[in-house]
Amino acid sequence: MMQKASDGKPLILVTNDDGIKAGGLVALVNMLTELGDVVVVAPNQSYSGMSHAITVNHPLYAKKVREKKHLTVYKVNGTPVDCVKLAINQLLEKKPDLVVSGINHGSNSSISLHYSGTLGAAREGALSQVPSIGLSLLDYSYEADFSEAVVYARKVVEKVLQNGLPAGSYLNVNVPEVSPLKGLKVVRQANGKWVEDFIERTDPRGRTYYWLTGRFENLEPDATDTDEYALSQGYVSLVPCHLDSTDHELIPQLKEYEL
């Protein structure tokens, strides 16, 4: 089952995890309004590292902060996944043709997609059976230049609006911090890990505390079919992802566990 845009101007839902004022979101929205009707439903603050989290302990408010032709903007006191859920279930008059999340300030390649609110939102779009794309630029700075990233984002968005995506799949697109970009590669998620995860300090009351930090390590540096490799060579990486977490190959091996 392919899910495609309906006839006419597509309805595009946009969110992110850096909050409604982030430069990556603004750059993305400016481009998308040339392609369709855009509704932004994004967090009112930064929700980095929120993964696929949902808000269960307080209610959500959605405030419309802008409305003009082809662009409506809401801010929500919730996570990126909350934003997608609330948009599709409550705020939008019809199901969107596409969910685009980003452009994130910072990488979501390899295993980082598991921690990423940007990719959480794209995954939630797929769970809602809407073609969905997560976009990230490998530059954490607030003033990052998204101009080249937007050119590639547009090419991917146009393809997905045209072709749809199979149900259960979504795209994780990362853009390296090089200029000019060399092109785009369709690749798999590299196997990696985070190391040196914490800084340990002592507070004024003598108690030890820990700040999360860390450094990414590519565990398969010799593989040339991964997102990490493509990015290292100056290419945009596109990883098709799936909602099914099952390790299908392991099922027959674990049959002896049955009782």
- Which H helix or E strand runs over 19? none
37 known member of a binding site: no
Footprint on residues 188-207 left by a second copy (CB under 8 A) = 188-189, 191, 193-194, 196-198, 200-201, 207
Distance of closest approach, residue 82 Cβ to a second copy, in angstroms: 7
17 known member of a binding site: yes
172 known member of a binding site: no
Footprint on residues 114-143 left by a second copy (CB under 8 A) = 114-115, 120, 123, 127-129
Nearer to a second copy, 10 or 80 (CB): 80
Q: Does 49 bind a second copy (CB under 8 A)?
A: yes
Residues 6+ apart with CB under 8 A from 124: 52, 80, 81, 84, 85, 99, 132
Q: CA 236 to CA 213: how far, in whole Å? A: 25
List the one residue from 23, 37, 60, 92 that touches a second copy (CB under 8 A).
Answer: 60
Q: Does 179 bind a second copy (CB under 8 A)?
A: no
Q: Does 81 bind a second copy (CB under 8 A)?
A: yes
- Looking at residue 201, its amino acid is R
List the one residue from 157, 185, 218, 231 that touches a second copy (CB under 8 A).
Answer: 185
Q: Does 187 bind a second copy (CB under 8 A)?
A: yes
Letters for 2-21 (x = contact with a second copy by CB under 8 A, - = none) are --------------------
Q: Does 164 bind a second copy (CB under 8 A)?
A: no
Kindly report the three-state secondary structure assignment for every residue of 63-122: EEEEEECCEEEEEECCCHHHHHHHHHHHHCCCCCCEEEEEEEECCCCHHHHHCCHHHHHH
* Closest-CA residue to 135 (of 165, 166, 97, 175): 175
Nearer to a second copy, 26 or 60 (CB): 60
